[in-house]
Structure 1
Amino acid sequence: MKNLVQAIHNRDSNALARLAGENKEPDRGVNNEAERLVDILFDNLKQLFPASVSTALKDPRDEAAAKRQWIAAFAENNIRSKEQLKSGMQHARASASPFWPSPGQFIAWCKDAEFKAGGLPDTNELYDMVMEYCAHKIEYETPERYPWKSNACYWMVTKLYDLMRSLNLTDAELRKRCTEELRKMAHRIESAEEIPAPVVQIPKLHIPLSNDKGLAKIAELRAKHRLGRH
Structure 2
Amino acid sequence: MKNITELVPQFKPVSIADDSNKQQQKEQVAEIVNKLFKQLKAACPAMFHTLNNNDESSIKRQWIIGFIENGINPAMINAGMRIARQQSNPFMPSVGQFIGWCEKGLVEEYGLPTAESLTKAVIEFGKYKGFDDFCDYDYGSDANYWLINDLHRIMQDENLGIEKLQLRAEKMIAEMAKKIMKGYVIPTPNKALPKKIEERPLSNEMQLSKLEEIKRRFGFSYAKAAS
2:147 is equivalent to residue 147 of structure 1: no
The answer for the alignment partner of 2:58 in structure 1 is: 65
Which of the numbers 64, 71, 74 marks the counterpart of 2:67? 74
TM-score (norm 1): 0.52
The answer for the alignment partner of 2:189 in structure 1 is: 196
Where structure 1 has 5 or more consecutive residues not aligned to the other structure, the ranges are 21-30, 201-211, 213-230
Map Cα deviations across residues 151-193 of structure 1 (whole Å, 9 max, x no partner).
32122124334555722242xx555433421244342783446
Map Cα deviations across residues 106-143 of structure 1 (whole Å, 9 max, x no partner).
234324555566x5415x3x532432553576467376
Report the Cα offset of residue 147 of structure 1.
0.8
> The residue matched to 1:197 in structure 2 has which SS?
coil
CA contact (8 A) 1:148 1:154 kept: yes
Alignment of 1:59-138 (within 5 A): 60-75=53-68, 77-81=71-75, 84-95=76-87, 100-112=92-104, 114-115=106-107, 119-121=110-112, 124=114, 126-132=115-121, 134=123, 138=127
Distance 1:179 1:191 in 2: 19
Number of matched residues? 177
Query: CA distance change for structure 1 residues 198 and 177 in 2, over 3 Å: closer, same or farther?
Result: farther
Distance 1:68 1:143 in 2: 52
2:26 is equivalent to residue 37 of structure 1: no
The answer for the alignment partner of 2:26 in structure 1 is: 16
Query: CA distance change for structure 1 residues 138 and 94 in 2, over 3 Å: closer, same or farther?
Result: farther
Distance 1:136 1:15 in 2: 44
Query: CA distance change for structure 1 residues 194 and 181 in 2, over 3 Å: closer, same or farther?
Result: same
Report the Cα offset of residue 96 of structure 1.
7.0
The answer for the alignment partner of 2:18 in structure 1 is: none
The answer for the alignment partner of 1:218 in structure 2 is: none
Distance 1:104 1:139 in 2: 37
The answer for the alignment partner of 1:178 in structure 2 is: 169
Query: CA distance change for structure 1 residues 128 and 154 in 2, over 3 Å: closer, same or farther?
Result: same
Distance 2:173 2:94 in 1: 20
CA contact (8 A) 2:29 2:64 kept: yes
2:9 is equivalent to residue 6 of structure 1: yes
Map Cα deviations across residues 88-107 of structure 1 (whole Å, 9 max, x no partner).
12323445777643324323
Distance 1:146 1:132 in 2: 11
Q: Percent identity?
A: 22
Which of the numbers 160, 163, 180 marks the counterpart of 1:167? 160
Distance 2:89 2:165 in 1: 19
> The residue matched to 2:140 in structure 1 has which SS?
coil
Alignment of 1:213-224 (within 5 A): none
> The residue matched to 2:8 in structure 1 has which SS?
helix
CA contact (8 A) 1:87 1:110 kept: yes
Please tell me the residue identity of whatever aligns with 2:80.
G
Query: CA distance change for structure 1 residues 93 and 109 in 2, over 3 Å: closer, same or farther?
Result: same
Cα RMSD, aligned residues only: 4.4
Q: Which has the larger radius of gyration?
A: 2
Where structure 2 has 5 or more consecutive residues not aligned to the other structure, the ranges are 15-20, 194-213, 215-227
TM-score (norm 2): 0.53
Distance 2:61 2:8 in 1: 15
